Amino acid sequence: MSIKILAYYLPQYHPIPENDKWWGKGFTEWTNVKKAKPLFKGHKQPIYPGELGYYDLRNPEIQENQAKLANEYGVDGFIYYQYWFDTDKMLLEKPAEAMLKNKKVDIPFCFCWANETWKGIWHGMDNDSILIEQKYNGANGYKKYFQYLLPFFKDERYIKIDNKPMFHIYRIQDIPDLNTFLKTFNDLALQNGFKGIYLVATGNEKNEIIKFNKDINAVVGLDSFTKMRYGSHFYFNSNNLLGKIERSIKHRLKSLDTTPIEKRTKPIKINYKKEIYRLKPEFKTAKYVPCIFPNWDNSARSQNKSLIFFNSNPTHWKNHFYDVVKNYLRHKENPPFIVIKSWNEWAEGNYIEPDAKYGRGWLEAVSTVKKELDLN
């Protein structure tokens, strides 16, 4: 069976004026990675990149080499995070724009609209100050956004399902006029020779639309959905409005500390080897796409407010990946792709790029599973 493996791709590896203002001149994702410190005995920080080094995405050879690595080890496409905050405001868009012009970056791709206000507490500050606000400007704003996306959609590398450009949305429940957005994008896609938009939504703990139940099938215009990370629910107190999923996961992870992030004074530690198998994706709808992660340790960014899955390594990752894919093969009605979070979110300790300790081990795990289960 052919299943495509897609990986989220973070473009924050080049300086931008906004990051210079907030964090200091020359800030990139590597800034936090380099300053990380161990928080407990045996804590493996800092982590170091492997053969690609502390790269700068302004160098075209980096994206070319990333594509070569992905192709060699069975990653079938990148999902570029995209930060469109307002009708005329984007951040971190240059790597994707450079990739569009550079056909040597020979790998399929699509976008995930990371439609979320940036707050300081999620980026290492001690307060919840707003760095930049996500805004929505109705049909006119969505039209302008679509026109920006159109050259990407038309590119032969852009991932399409039945001639529908694949487009992920991180927080679909935050769009105040969702029907307007869906209609605008689908109408414009039809007008430009496509059959519509293949929309993938991300479910999370506050999402009143995207749930692991039959309601998902009632969202008109939504083709599939994925829960981006198992970790999102760990940041909320169990007394808050957690859904059945979060309560279930909390029950399964007996040692889980549910202290809200703003009050946390020590990191949450979870044993990846022991606990990852308790968090297997559940296939309760034919629209569900599993999203799995090899590792997670965002202490480089959040220090004592962080979530750390310790004891992760390529072997445990391979075993988890194998189990999820093997289970997925029994659900032939589901969309034929799986999402990895992530290709290169280094400050969250969440990546499959080569690192100094394991080399290409994270990628080799992907390749091994694909070969063993004959996914090509």
**Helix/strand/coil (H, E, C) string of the chain?**
CCCEEEEEECCCCCCCHHHHHHHCCCCCHHHHHHHCCCCCCCCCCCCCECCCCCCCCCCHHHHHHHHHHHHHHCCCEEEEEEEEEECCEEECCHHHHHHHHCCCCCCCEEEEECCCCEEHHHHCCCCCCEEECCCCCHHHHHHHHHHHHHHHHHCCCECEECCEEEEEECCHHHCCCHHHHHHHHHHHHHHCCCCCCEEEEEECCCCCCCCCCHHHHHCCCCCEEEECCHHHHHHCCCCCCCCHHHHHHHHHCCCCCCCCHHHCCCCEEEEHHHHHHHHCCCCCCCCECCEECCCEECHHHHHHHCEEEECCCHHHHHHHHHHHHHHHCCCCCCCCEEEECCCEEHHHCEECCCECCCECHHHHHHHHHHHHCCCC
Q: Which of these, 83, 79, 80, lies nearest to 18 by C-alpha position?
A: 83
Residues 345, 294 contacting (CB under 8 angstroms): no
Distance separating alpha carbons of residues 20 and 44, to the nearest angstrom = 28
Beta bridge partners of 5: 338
**Tokens 């999902």 sit on residue:** 79
Distance separating alpha carbons of residues 80 and 335, to the nearest angstrom = 20
Distance separating alpha carbons of residues 98 and 103, to the nearest angstrom = 10
| Structure-block tokens of residue 226 | 């994925």
Q: What is the pLDDT of residues 346-355, one digit of tens each?
A: 999 999 999 9
Q: How distant is the alpha carbon of residue 256 from its chain centre?
A: 23
The single-letter code of the amino acid at 361 is: G
Distance separating alpha carbons of residues 320 and 350, to the nearest angstrom = 15
Distance separating alpha carbons of residues 75 and 294, to the nearest angstrom = 14
Q: Which own/partner contact pairs does 260-266 have at CB distance under 8 Å and 24+ positions apart?
A: 260/235, 260/236, 261/121, 261/235, 261/302, 261/305, 262/121, 262/128, 262/305, 264/304, 264/305, 265/304, 266/39, 266/304
pLDDT of res. 289: 86
Residues of the chain with confidence (pLDDT) below 50: 205-214, 216, 230-252, 254-255
Q: Is 330 exposed, middle or buried (0-12, 13-18, 19+ CB in 10 A)?
A: exposed
Q: What is the pLDDT of residues 219-230, one digit of tens each?
A: 556 677 676 654
Structure pTM? Answer: 0.89
Distance separating alpha carbons of residues 364 and 312, to the nearest angstrom = 15
pLDDT of res. 30: 98
What is the residue extent of each domain of the chain? 4-372
pLDDT of res. 334: 86
CATH class of the domain defined by 4-372: alpha beta
Cα separation of the two ends of the chain: 7
Q: Which of these, 254, 252, 263, 342, lies nearest to 298 by C-alpha position?
A: 342
